[in-house]
Structure 1
């Protein structure tokens, strides 16, 4: 059954989904315009569903009720039930949403248009997305994270080797800083002390003092350092090294590498943490698989075949928790 409604901003088709499954893991196959629903307990793909072209990243809304998939080539957002993974609606004319994120107070919604060299900023009131400003930003705006005071979004520029700080209320660039070759994932250490940046063109993570914009340190990890996931243990954040096919565990209290997880499949990319914090789920971008790492053993213990170029990943049992540092 389909129910149509129209607001002053957009119109969507709402699809009434089947009975929800409480343990789904959603994995995006960016190379096949589809998503996988994986049962967390059996570790098997239970369903595949069509998405738009090149769905790369996804994020839960601040109220935990809707999962947003950004379809970059289709120029739209897809809204899913975060538990069942089934479609609730679409928002058209969001141009090239490669990466997406909400500010911690949920007032701002930001998309990075990687192929268009632009960042778009929207006001968000819990229901509507109203365009506030479009900021040309060369080249290849990729990942993002926010300051906890909700004033600044930080964006990596992969081709120019920079990170940019954008003032959200005025939609202006405050500063740009060259940090190295091919910067990608961003993560803010507790207390907003430092920005950590995965240097995909190098073999390290750059540590940036963003209040006095400068690189203060580089932490050796592995070739192709790319994206982050907080391990919620009060000490470590994981970073994927796509070229070396390893994952480094960074102690963010000492800004050192506390060890690497090796013997992985090629191209580890995005990560999600199980609710009990024991298992780290990883998409292997170059291997058509999702992997499961036992963090107590620091070892890959299972793999699941999916489609071409698996990228973004989301775990349903973490839906009520809103984190301002998207994967």
Structure 2
């Protein structure tokens, strides 16, 4: 038994070493640009590197299986790619996409994030119905604090400003859960609707916005009283959020309607819409000057560039199958001024 365990461990280490070597070799064969756009191709176990000046794909780097989401380390020296089926994390340079190192034995990391106080690193196990909470000590130093059963299909995350609570959407059960980070216990669950996904806290942590992928609205949750106070009609399959970095507006993508809606966080009204998009708009990133919005088209093997002055799609770029997470170094802040 011990011999088999040792063999499995040795195989995993060897596989990780080979994957790392392959990633470095692939990257070395491409021109290293100073600031690449990094796109995860979930269906191909790769990431695409796109030159932010020419808008051309300049490289494709192997990752683990099913890389869905990515997140920068708090010091912004690394970008973490979560490989959900390979059960590991790939750290890359956030500017170039160059592989840095692997962290193994992180089981089913689908969505990931750091608490605002940098003490906690959290991953959702979409496949394993679990929330994994890690103590974070900087760099790639994470140690497991708690594996918390949480069904069904925990998906997206949002942290309160004080780092006490992480909210988790549960896609199959149609609920959101509130988890206390210091004690690693579920505080409560509440029903919100069909297939909740993206989560967003409005300034001051006043309301929790929930994108309803199984419907056509955003639920506005008074989370302190565990009550839905309003629904905001958007496109069908409301999914993910991205701040407009103005302290007042947030974007929400709708993967079936193929639109991106603009929501006023104070009035809780839809104030605009970006249409004419390719199928499956999902993750979004905003340039530092707030002029352009990059978006992945999950069902079209493309990403796109939207001019935020005209609200028009002006450029599309072919990437790999099922593009999901997107990131680039020179971007507008994701959070509102108060850190919400």
Common fold: TM-score over 0.5: yes
On the 8 A contact 1:207/1:215 being kept in 2, the answer is: yes
Extract unaligned runs of 5+ from structure 2.
1-12
Match of 1:90 in 2: 102
Matches within 5 A, 1:96-175: 96-127=108-139, 128-175=141-188
Q: Is the 8 A contact 2:130 2:147 kept in 1?
A: yes
Residues 104 and 323 of structure 1 are in contact (CA less than 8 Å); yes or no, is this contact kept in structure 2?
Answer: no
Query: C-alpha displacement at 1:318, in angstroms?
Result: 3.5
User: Counterpart of 1:4?
Assistant: none
Greater relative contact order: 1 or 2 (C-alpha under 8 angstroms, separation 6 or more)?
1
Deviations 1:249-301 (A, max 9, x none): 01111100012111110000000011111101000000000011111001111
SS state of the match for residue 320, structure 2?
A: coil
- Which of 23, 39, 56 does residue 68 from structure 2 map onto? 56
Tell me the CA shift for residue 323 of structure 1.
5.0
Q: Secondary structure at the match of 1:316?
A: coil
Q: What is the aligned residue count?
A: 315
Is residue 2:209 matched to residue 1:199? Answer: no
Q: Give structure 1 stretches of 5+ with no counterpart.
A: 1-9
Is 1:231–2:258 an aligned residue pair? Answer: no
| Aligned counterpart, 2:9 | none
Aligned partners of 1:187 and 1:40: how far apart in 2? 28
1:83 is paired with a residue of what secondary structure? coil
Asked whether the equivalents of residues 59 and 68 of structure 1 are also in contact (C-alpha less than 8 Å), the reply is yes
Q: Give the strand-richer structure, 1 or 2.
A: 1
Q: How far 1:62 moved relative to its partner? A: 0.1
Aligned equivalents of 2:278, 2:38: Cα separation in 1:
20
What residue in structure 2 maps to residue 308 of structure 1? 321
8 Å CA contact retained: 2:243, 2:334: no
Give 2:235's aligned residue.
222
Cα RMSD, aligned residues only? 2.0
Q: Is the partner of 1:290 in helix, strand or coil?
A: strand
What's 2:277 paired with?
Answer: 264
Give the TM-score normalised by the residue count of structure 1: 0.92
2:71 maps to 1:71: no
The alignment status of 1:280 with 2:258, answered yes or no, reads no
State the alpha-carbon separation in 2 of the partners of residues 101 and 88 from structure 1: 19
Cα separation, 2, equivalents of 1:149 and 1:161: 26
Distance 2:191 2:272 in 1: 27
More helix by share: 2
Shift of 1:41: 1.6
Identify the residue that residue 44 of structure 1 maps to in structure 2: 56
> C-alpha displacement at 1:205, in angstroms?
0.2
Q: CA-to-partner distance for each residue in 1:9-55, whole Å, 9 max, x for gaps?
A: x9986878768522210000000000000111211111111010000
Does residue 254 (structure 1) correspond to residue 267 (structure 2)? The answer is yes
CA–CA separation in structure 1 for the residues paired with 2:147 and 2:161 = 22
Secondary structure of the structure 2 residue equivalent to 1:270? strand
- SS of the equivalent of 2:247 reads coil
